[in-house]
Amino acid sequence: MYGIKIGAACLAFAWLAAAALSARVEAQTASPGFANLRYSPLTEINAGNVQRLTPVWSFSTGVLRGHEGAPLVVGGVIYVHTPFPNTVYALDLGHEGKILWKYEPRQDSGVVALMCCDTVSRGLAFADGKIFLYQADTTLVALDVATGAPIWSVRNGDPKKGATGTSAPFVVKDKVLVGVSGGEFGLRGYLTAYDIATGAKVWRAYSIGPDADTLIDPSKTTELGKPVGGEASLASWQGDQWKIGGGAPWGRISYDPALNLIYYGTGNPSTWNPTQRPGDNKWSMAIVARDADTGIARWVYQMTPHDQWDYDGVNEMILNDSIIDGRSRKLLMHFDRNGFAYVLDRADGELVSADKYDPAVNWARAIDMDKASKSYGRPIVEGKYSIEQNGEETQTHGICPSTVGAKNANPAAYSTATGLFYVPMIRLCMDYEPFRIAYAEGQPYTGADTAVYPETGETAMGGLIAWDAGTRRIVWSDRKRFAVASGVLATAGGLVFYGTLEGYLKAVDAASGRELYRFKTPSGIVGDVTSFEHQGRQYVAVLSGVGGWSGAGLTAGLTHSDEGSNSPEVYAALANYTALGGQLTVFALR
């Protein structure tokens, strides 16, 4: 059995990518958009001709380590971001990437030591003539779209307390929203809305704490159709543990303009040792729907109460409409790290279904769907995989999935043509050893070690699946040597694009999963594939630059078989296929 030993200082590994774009940008690029579909209506590149896809130009970012997220296309310019130091380039699409301007932030390099899971940045946003950048030190900057000159900036957190910025800004109407990272440092997570014109703070909603902080109306905010009641979060924590309770919302955000609701997920509670925080630990590990103007929560749903496995709930919310029981429903689809695919009514938070999308998931048998049950909506936990027994820490073996999840924050895609979701997969299990830890401001506050290894009998540690939400089953599965850590793109041309840790951009048939195209880029891909049209021609683009959790063996130098708990298959083997890098590659039909 091969395993990775992940110490507490290594923290949790996760990905998130891509920015929220205005309607103007969505018309030109396959952006995730408000609904996070990651679907391109462009058809010039299709299943019949994708074999003729070829790189037409490339651009080196000059920065190594993990290049997550996707470039942003506005008009005839493509805007590219990098990991720390978070450089931004404006490249002219009409002249094969000629540099129009470059923005280089000045920030204390000490923030790097605080960043969980590499020095990543997950994307840019555009609105009102501004490019929005969220720096590692939590500074949100508005740049002039034409010149790159800073218009305003605001600090969203204090790195001395463990706060860092890794997520992509998200623009809704006249506001730009950003979350915060730092749950592994005991930071109490929050989402903040700033005025796009001035940078003034409009509202801030904490994940955990008093109703006044979490912007919850106890009589109107619901969970599973019932009012949550007064101070529900405080009642689910022991003493003042909530003040260092985590719940960082570092993932992506979605928005329904008709309902004027934003949707996002909250991360793990602190510490990782569950015996030190009795209770459900609300509202960590939850999906939250908030009014975009006021931040007031309309509904919440906690997926993993009293989390014992670091299953951050931050993976993307995909908004789509469907006919269920003869009526049209406004739905939200969420493939959680815990291995369950959740479907909720996004208007009122009703739980429609919850199913395992990886059959190997064993920490819970199912989600209780009996509305008459007191445990309705909660996971039915398998006792043998619990991290605590009789209130004591317990070293536990063979838990599936591992802390990085059956899927991490790199986004899935939904095709309106096939009606299928295309999900990047991780097939790893773990041993989990909790230990007591004392809180110290600005220091890691994890309280557990984990050893991670491939699922039993598996040599493939990842892959891509096509999921049918109607039949609640896998339609096809394509297994891969390593975890798939890139964002997926579906197109109207009958294709699904994704990247591999070895560095391949791949295109498969959307209906069958059959591989139709591959091209080896200079470094492993943890970025999101995107597509756009310029001067009547369709392009596909992707950032390559291995990193994040999946590239930890390279970024941390664990490239020998006697490192990482003798784990050549999970860490060291990747060094045989790729190396650190940072490049944008743009493709078109030849």
Q: Which long-range contacts (CB under 8 A, 24 or more apart) does 440-445 make?
A: 441/160, 441/161, 441/162, 441/186, 442/114, 442/159, 442/160, 442/161, 442/162, 442/185, 443/162, 443/185, 444/8, 444/9, 444/11, 444/184, 444/185, 445/162, 445/184, 445/185, 445/186, 445/244, 445/270, 445/271
Q: Which residue, chain included where needed, has tokens 């290049």? A: 67
State the Cα–Cα distance between residues 211 and 370, nearest whole angstrom. Answer: 29
Helix (H), strand (E) at residue 96? none
CA-nearest of 85, 139, 89, 133 to 109 is 85
Return the H-helix or E-strand segment holding 26: helix 23-26
Mode of pairing for the β-strands spanning 318-324 and 98-103 = unpaired
Evaluate whether 506 touches 540 at the Cβ level (below 8 Å).
no
Q: Are strands 39-40 and 489-491 parallel, antiparallel or unpaired?
A: parallel
Q: Are 298 and 305 in contact (CB under 8 A)?
A: no
Residue type, 225: G
Containing H/E element for 552? helix 552-555
In angstroms, the CA 451 to CA 429 distance is 8
* Structure-token match 């939250």, residue found: 288
Q: How many residues does the chain have?
A: 590
For 133, residues 6+ apart whose C-beta sits below 8 A from its C-beta are 81, 86, 88, 103, 105, 121, 124, 140, 141, 143, 169
Cα end-to-end distance, the chain, whole Å? 46
Beta-carbon contacts of residue 372 (< 8 Å; ≥ 6 apart): none
Q: CA torsion sign, 324 to 328 to 332 to 333?
A: positive
Instruction: Given the residues 307, 310, 336, 358, select the one marked as catalytic.
Output: 310
How many CB atoms neighbour CB 19 within 10 A?
29
Buried b or exposed e, range 164-174, using 16+ CB within 10 angstroms: bbbbbbbbbee
Nearest to 52 by CA among 519, 579, 532, 549: 519
- Using alpha carbons, select from 498, 486, 503, 546 the residue that is nearest to residue 66: 546
Is residue 370 part of the annotated active site? The answer reads no
Q: Active-site residue numbers?
A: 310
